[in-house]
Amino acid sequence: MPNTAPIVILGIESSCDETAAAVLVDGFLRSNVVASQEVHRQWGGVVPELAGRAHQENIVPVVGRALAGAGLTPADLTAVAFTQGPGLIGALLVGACFARSLAQALDVRLVAVDHVRAHVMAHLIVDGTERERPPFPFLNITVSGGHTQLVLVRSPLEMEVLGSTLDDAAGEAFDKGAKVLGLPYPGGPEVDRLARTGDGTRYRLPVPAVEGYDMSFSGIKTAFANLVRSRKDTLEQERADLAAALQEAILDHLLAKTRRLMREAGLKAVGVAGGVAANTRLRERLQALGAAEGWSVHIPPTAYCTDNAAMIAMAGHHLHQAGIWAGQDVVPVPRIA
């Protein structure tokens, strides 16, 4: 008799400042819960110790809400997938320990998921809404507060990182630049909003010189800090123009590398994921570039771009199907090897 029981995956994300859980049934998203930790706002950045503590408080209710939202109980689970890394060690430990204990108690499979690869899964989440999914192979621009990669995606499990930042992540450049402008954390959305009323051609920041498909954002950050310092007497009037200059410099670098890789690899489909994919100007410029170059452009809903557990569950689903499981001795991996 073939086994026709549905495959039910619980995904758990706890790598940074979002505690999240999601449930997939046969690859279909049934619930997706995210608790964002507001406690960091007053400190102007994520405080690791506070993140760990907040995950401990959130994890049980968040998982409970995800199961209830799917109309299921723990006994229905086939496997528990969790973020193994990269991320903050104290934050990852909470998700890993919880997932291990739950899988052991229920006697179900445990699946360890790479958070950065999981960001690509934003494109593959099936939730009943219509959207065109990128055909394989495609290039994904993974851009968030902690990661910036150009990834060749051949299938849900076959990915190759062809370029990455050598220093700061793109989101970090937005956040640090925003801080210099006196904007609250996280600065990316603030820069996005302010830049809409600014003139991005007024100031030009230097273009980083990096070989191949790799990127570097720390030079932009330093040049921007110097520029802002030189304009400090007129900062109030110029803030929007400065925000636009920062945004254009980050996007110029990212999109120049993307175009070069797409052309040289002969690719026809490109996607973007990660928190920075919420950026209005990036969406606009990537669409325009795609139209000019003849690519299809894929931008998932923002809820799947910023840190979430639907992407972890989706990655977990594919790993489970391929028989790639973790043992009870699995430990978090805070950094990419």
Site residues, Zn ion (CB under 5 A): 144, 307
19 binds ligand KG4 (CB under 6 A): no
Number of residues in contact with ligand KG4 under rule CB under 6 A:
19
Closest approach, Cβ 134 to ligand KG4, in A, equals: 19
Least CB distance to ligand KG4 at residue 122 (A): 10
Q: Report the nearest approach of ligand KG4 to the CB of residue 119 (Å).
A: 7
Residue closer to ligand KG4 by CB (options 149, 306) is 306
As a whole number of angstroms, the distance between CA 100 and CA 114 comes to 16
Q: Characterise 128 by phi-psi region: left (phi > 0), alpha (psi -120 to 50), beta (else).
A: left
Using CB under 6 A as the binding rule, whether residue 145 contacts ligand KG4 is answered as yes
Least Å distance, CB 273 to Zn ion, is 9
Relative to beta strand 148-153, strand 296-298 is: unpaired
Stretch that binds ligand KG4, among 56-64, 180-188, 224-232, 287-295 (CB under 6 A): 180-188
User: Least CB distance from residue 45 to Zn ion, whole Å?
Assistant: 15
Q: Minimum distance between the CB of residue 16 and ligand KG4, rounded to whole angstroms? A: 6
Binding to ligand KG4 by CB under 6 A, coded x per residue (else -) over 301-320, reads -----xx-------------
State the minimum distance, in angstroms, from the CB of residue 19 to ligand KG4: 13
State the DSSP H helix or E strand holding residue 124, giving kind and residue range, or none if neither.
Answer: none
Centre a 10 Å sphere on the Cβ of residue 237 and count the other Cβ atoms it contains.
Answer: 9
Strand (E) positions, 225-281? 269-273
Task: Kindly state whether residue 34 participates in binding ligand KG4, applying the rule CB under 6 A.
Answer: no
State in Å, rounded, how far the first CA of the chain is from the last one. Answer: 43
Of 8 and 173, CB closest to Zn ion: 173
- Burial label for 246, CB within 10 Å (0-12, 13-18, 19+), is buried
Is the Cβ of residue 79 or residue 305 nearer to ligand KG4 in the bound state? Answer: 305
How far apart, in Å, are the Cα atoms of 283 and each of 273, 280, 298?
Answer: 11, 5, 9
How far is 231 from 223, CA to CA, in rounded Å?
13
Cα-trace Rg, the chain = 20
Cβ atoms within 10 Å, residue 266: 7
- Amino acid code (one letter) for 59: I
Query: DSSP code of 232?
Result: G
> Would you count residue 16 as binding ligand KG4 (CB under 6 A)?
yes
Smallest gap from Cβ 18 to Zn ion, in A, equals 9
Which of residues 163 and 290 has its CB atom nearest to Zn ion in the complex?
163
Tokens of 81: 């997938």
Of 127-135, 206-214, 275-283, 320-328, which part binds ligand KG4 (CB under 6 A)?
Answer: 275-283
186 binds, among ligand KG4, Zn ion, none (CB under 5 to 8 A by kind): ligand KG4
Q: Is the Cβ–Cβ distance between 33 and 66 less than 8 Å?
A: yes
Q: How far apart are CA 287 and CA 279, in angstroms?
A: 12
Residue 144 as a binder of ligand KG4 (CB under 6 A): the answer is yes
**Residue 168 contacts ligand KG4 per CB under 6 A:** no
186 near ligand KG4, judged by CB under 6 A = yes
Please state, in angstroms and as integers, the Cα–Cα distance from residue 179 to each residue in 19, 39, 149, 298, following that order: 25, 18, 24, 30
Q: Which of 83, 140, 165, 279 binds ligand KG4 (CB under 6 A)?
A: 279
Binding site for ligand KG4 (CB under 6 A): 16, 144-146, 171, 174-175, 186-189, 192, 274-276, 278-279, 306-307
